[in-house]
Structure 1
Amino acid sequence: MTEMTFDDLPQSVGHITQGAPFALGEEELDAFAKATWLDKAYLDDIPEFPETLVEGFLLLSMLDAAAKLASPASSSTMWGLNYGLDRVRFIAPVHMGQRVLSTYEILAVEPKDNGYKVLRRCTFTVEGQDRPAMVADWWSLAFPRGTVERARERS
């Protein structure tokens, strides 16, 4: 499937998308610590905590951007938003500079209002490793383009 349209969603169960590899560096780790106040909450250094270890919640926060960059979804026919997570597991460590590979598999598509709830299994794996670093089951809502605009006009 090259570009998935809104009308393609009901038949997309089982579709797998591979994202481009990415790596997180010191700049991203520092920015995340500052934005989430981890730099304030953990003032005392924990000597046994490796400085190069990527925080699990930083990986989780990458889901949306990495999925958007990997997605063949047509932004001209639909738009989506976060609906929630059913399950998240941090299985293996990720360290600064390691290349992370992302995979997204559509597990379910269910009608919801004028759109669909879409469940994707999102897997991040460090390149060269067998075990995934993180697996998250993530629900999104997808609506046909124009739905939000029409709702705003009625408000």
Structure 2
Amino acid sequence: MRTFANVQELKEAVGETLGPTEWRTVTQEQVNTFADATDDHQWIHVDPERAKESPFGGTIAHGFLTLSLLPSFMTQLMSVGEIEMAVNFGLNKVRFAKPVPVGSRVRATGQIVSVKNSPAGQLAELKVSVELEGERRAVCVAEALLLYVAKA
């Protein structure tokens, strides 16, 4: 993990690549819990027997489940000191390039794209790539926005 003393130090690191994070296994229990939370119970995610006959050969994680791992990955990629809080501000662009089979392992890298002044604080953009173990192509690429609010 890269630790930045403050937002100014983060600004000076624009262009830097962070990571990778630790590998994380995507489990069927996790997929089922996500399906319950989002009411997305499509069989390709939650029916292992039926999914064996699919082109994927088994169940796959929801794309949005993969995306929802970003906050956890971010805490492994970096921390910023001298702030009151960091808030997920949004996403500019997201692509799900490949499915994530249940039981596989994923990890992330990030690149600091920009850090700009905002009325509410400092807005950082990170390009986060989630990779699947054994694959060269990322399974998810997202331009994540984080708002850093200075201590009062």
Same fold by TM-score greater than 0.5: yes
The question of whether the paired residues in 1 share the 8 Å contact of 2:17 and 2:112 is answered with yes
Q: What is the aligned-residue RMSD (CA, Å)?
A: 2.2
Decide whether aligned partners of structure 1 residues 38 and 109 sit closer, same or farther in structure 2, where only a CA change above 3 A counts: same
Q: Percent identity?
A: 27
Structure 1 residue aligned with 2:118:
112
The question of whether the paired residues in 2 share the 8 Å contact of 1:6 and 1:143 is answered with no
Aligned residues: 142
Q: Which of 7, 20, 25 pairs up with 1:23?
A: 25
The question of whether the paired residues in 2 share the 8 Å contact of 1:116 and 1:143 is answered with yes
Q: Runs of 5+ in structure 2 lacking a partner? A: none
Q: Which amino acid aligns with 1:6?
A: V
Q: Runs of 5+ in structure 1 lacking a partner? A: 147-155
Distance apart, 1:97 and its partner CA: 1.8
Distance apart, 1:2 and its partner CA: 4.4
TM-score (norm 1): 0.81
Which protein is bigger by CA-based radius of gyration? 1
4+ aligned runs moved over 3 Å, structure 1: 42-51
The question of whether the paired residues in 2 share the 8 Å contact of 1:3 and 1:73 is answered with yes
Tell me the distance in 2 between the aligned counterparts of 1:37 and 1:107. 34
CA-to-aligned-CA distance 1:42-95 (integer Å, 9 cap, x gap): 479776375421110100111112111332333xx1221111111100111211
3-state SS, counterpart of residue 3 of structure 2: coil
Tell me the distance in 2 between the aligned counterparts of 1:16 and 1:110. 18
TM-score (norm 2): 0.82
Tell me the distance in 1 between the aligned counterparts of 2:126 and 2:77. 13
Q: Which amino acid aligns with 1:34?
A: D
Decide whether aligned partners of structure 1 residues 145 and 49 sit closer, same or farther in structure 2, where only a CA change above 3 A counts: farther
Tell me the distance in 2 between the aligned counterparts of 1:28 and 1:8. 36
Structure 1 residue aligned with 2:132:
126
Structure 2 residue aligned with 1:13:
14
